[in-house]
Amino acid sequence: MADLSTQAILLAFDKLGEHEPLPAEVVAAELDADEAAVVDRLAELEREDVLARAEDDGDTYWWAKLGPQLDPELAEELGSEPDGETYTLEEVRKRIE
C-alpha cells in the first residue's frame, strides 16, 4: 500500500516542485498510488490548509502551502539554534552532499 502520509505527499511536491502546481495523476505516479485515493487525500490536506488547489478548464491542479519536515538526521547535523539562525538552501545542499 502506498504511503499517503502528509510527509510523503509534501516530499512528492518538494521533489516535483519545479513543475508546480501538479495534477493528482502526477502525484499519484510519484507515490505509486491509486489516483482516486490520492485525490481524496489531497482534498483532505486542502481542508487542513496544507495544500491549495485551482481548476482550469475542468482540470484540478494542486500545490503545497508547506514544505516537508526536515530529515531528523539532517536537523541533528545542522543543530538547533535558539537565536533563530537560518541556513540558505546552498548551505543545506553543501551539508547533505
Q: What is the CATH number of the domain that holds 13?
A: 1.10.10.10
Task: Please indicate, yes or no, if residue 1 is contained in any of the structural domains.
Answer: no
User: Does residue 55 share a domain with residue 10?
Assistant: yes
pLDDT tens per residue, range 1-11: 789 999 899 98
Q: Which domain holds residue 21?
A: 6-64
Instruction: Give the whole-angstrom CA distance, residue 63 versus residue 85.
Output: 28
Angle between helices 24-31 and 6-15 (to 10 degrees): 110
User: Number of structural domains, the chain?
Assistant: 2
User: Does residue 73 share a domain with residue 59?
Assistant: no
pLDDT tens per residue, range 21-65: 999 999 999 999 999 999 999 999 999 999 999 999 989 999 988
Backbone phi, psi, residue 76, to 5°: -65, -40
Long-range contacts of 42-50 (CB under 8 A, 24+ apart): 42/9, 45/6, 45/9, 48/6, 50/6, 50/10
Q: Is residue 83 over pLDDT 60? A: no
